[in-house]
Amino acid sequence: MADIEYDVIIVGGGIVGLASAYKINLKYPNKKILVLEKEPEVAAHQTGHNSGVIHSGIYYKPGSYRARNCVEGRRELVAFAKANGIKHDICGKVIVATEESELAHMQKVFNHGQQNGVEGIELIHTDRIKEIEPYCSGIAGIWVPCTGIIDYAEVARKYAELISCQFDGSRVLTNHKVTGFEKHTDYTVVITNQGAFNTKYIVTCGGLQSDRIARKEGAKTDAAIVGFRGDYYELTPQAKHKVKNLIYPVPNPIYPFLGVHFTRMINGDTECGPNAVFVFKREGYAKTDFSLRDTADAFSFSGTWKFFYKNWRFGLDEYRRAFSKKLFLRRLQRLIPSLGMEDITPGRAGVRAMLLAEEGKMIDDFKIEHNGNAIHILNAPSPAATASLAIGTQVQKMADEYFHLC
């Protein structure tokens, strides 16, 4: 048998892959773990392109993995940030209803928060909204004091540092794109563009490429990743005073996104957005980015067309706003009516990996599956960054069950 270089290889150096490696190594400090990341640095895609919100756990269906892992993960993340000197701010946010028709769903969101154990939340009215966010207009809202902000790329880099420095033999390698797997009875050869590595066990966490990586390893899944880009605007310096911390709308229960919101970021900027538009390239952050392979894969998958059919009105509105600053502003003005065209400027963009089932349904919970000597994190939507340490613990417990690392 070939020499086994590593006990576990993690494919994917985003925040969830790194957290999983870190948590397995904490439980088994003498095991050698290798994280392989195809980009020149960790956290290059979803982790490094989000707005850095420490989510409370208020939105998610009680009992779901997202609900449990977000609340537990948030508390663990904040403790981790404090222990490691990572800048963060538990500043709180308001979820604001601007129309009577939103009140019933706002109450449902509040009830979910209570059932999920989100601490400190309270229903508030117009005067209290104005106290918290003087320029925001709403008829009712929810105050969520445990929401915060952080730089998740910095968190991911700290995970990587601890893996490499705290555990002998464990490493994080960038610029190593996994191109295949060679399966043997007692081990697997993980093939990259810079050489091959032997391992007993594998964990894949490919984010926007998670379905492809899992299939390469041999897992069978009928679901597929479809990318959705989120474009942001930023408040100009003269308009920053209009947002103190975080302002969110009541999400529309018909659609799978939280809606356009305002986020003060840890670097002092304030973002407005995002929208949500289908991308023709999974890792394409510009509006004109295109990949023939990614487009063909998406359009050849029946679930994509079924999702489009169910959500065509929403999709059309989102595309119009993607190319119209005026329409984007109009949506923002629902929360802050005094905003003008001169108050916002185009910002960055991120791409969200949405896992769709064949029937066109968005799989909105975390999805982690076992296949032989591998564990595949197939779906880790928001709030995965907030919940990364809790997800890492879940992966570690699955490794206990399936990998026999003792």
Q: What is the pLDDT of residues 207-250, one digit of tens each?
A: 999 999 999 999 999 999 999 999 999 999 999 999 999 999 99
What is the reported pLDDT for 404?
A: 85
Structure token digits, residue 198 = 């032997």
Which tokens hold the place of 110?
């509040």
Helices marked H in 323-403: 325-332, 388-403
Report pLDDT for 312. 86
Tell me phi and psi for residue 355, to 5 degrees.
Answer: -90, 120
> What value does the mean pLDDT take over residues 9-38?
98
- What's the pLDDT band for 322 if we cut at 50, 70, 90? confident
- What percentage of the chain carries pLDDT values higher than 70? 99
The domain 224-362 is placed in CATH, from the list 3.40.50, 3.30.9, 3.10.450, 3.30.420, at 3.30.9
Q: What is the mean pLDDT of residues 76-99?
A: 98
Q: Mean pLDDT over residues 138-160, rounded?
A: 98
Q: Which residue has the tokens 């001169």?
A: 342
Tokens 């809606």 sit on residue: 259
Burial 364-377, CB ≥16 within 10 A → b, else e: bbbbbeebebbbbb
Is the predicted pLDDT of residue 377 greater than 80, yes or no?
Answer: yes
pLDDT at residue 1 is higher than 60: no
Q: Tokens 């490691």, residue?
A: 84
What residues are paired with 149 via a beta bridge?
53, 89
Q: How far out from the chain centre does Cα 168 lie?
A: 30
Closest CA to 167 of 30, 12, 21, 6: 30
Residue burial 274-292, b: 16+ Cβ < 10 Å; e: rest: bbbbbbbbbbbbeeebebe
Domain coordinates in residue numbering, the chain: 6-47+153-223+364-403, 224-362
Please name the amino acid found at residue 55.
Answer: H
CA distance 109 to 92: 16
Q: What is the pLDDT at residue 256? A: 66
pLDDT at 32: 97
Contact between 213 and 12 under an 8 Å Cβ cutoff? The reply is: yes
Q: Which pLDDT value is given to residue 257?
A: 74
Q: With contact defined as beta carbons under 8 Å apart, do 190 and 178 qualify?
A: yes
pLDDT band at 189 (very low <50, low <70, confident <90, very high): very high
pLDDT for the residue numbered 326: 94
Phi-psi region of 200 (alpha: psi -120 to 50; beta: other; left: phi over 0): alpha
pLDDT of residue 318: 86
Tokens, residue 149:
């902000």
Who wins on pLDDT, 2 or 293?
293
Cα gap 128→116, rounded to integer Å: 24
Phi-psi region of 347 (alpha: psi -120 to 50; beta: other; left: phi over 0): beta
The CATH number of the structural domain formed by 6-47+153-223+364-403 is 3.50.50.60
User: What pLDDT score does 267 carry?
Assistant: 94
For residue 236, which of 346, 94, 334, 93 has the smallest C-alpha distance?
A: 346
C-alpha closest to that of 391 among 74, 7, 35: 74
Q: What is the mean pLDDT of the chain?
A: 95
pLDDT average, residue stretch 335-363: 96
d(CA 296, CA 212): 14
Confidence of residue 71 (pLDDT cuts 50, 70, 90): very high
Query: What pairs with residue 367 in β-bridges?
Result: 379
How far, rounded to the nearest angstrom, does the alpha carbon of residue 106 sit from its chain's CA centroid? 23
- Return the pLDDT at 2: 63
What's this model's pTM, rounded to 2 decimal places? 0.96
Residue 403 CA to residue 16 CA, distance in Å, equals 19
Give the tens place of pLDDT for each residue, 387-402.
999 999 999 999 999 9
Encoding tokens for residue 135?
A: 């320029």
Query: Could you tell me which residues are beta bridge partners of residue 142?
Result: 95, 123
Rounded CA-CA distance 342/273 in Å is 16
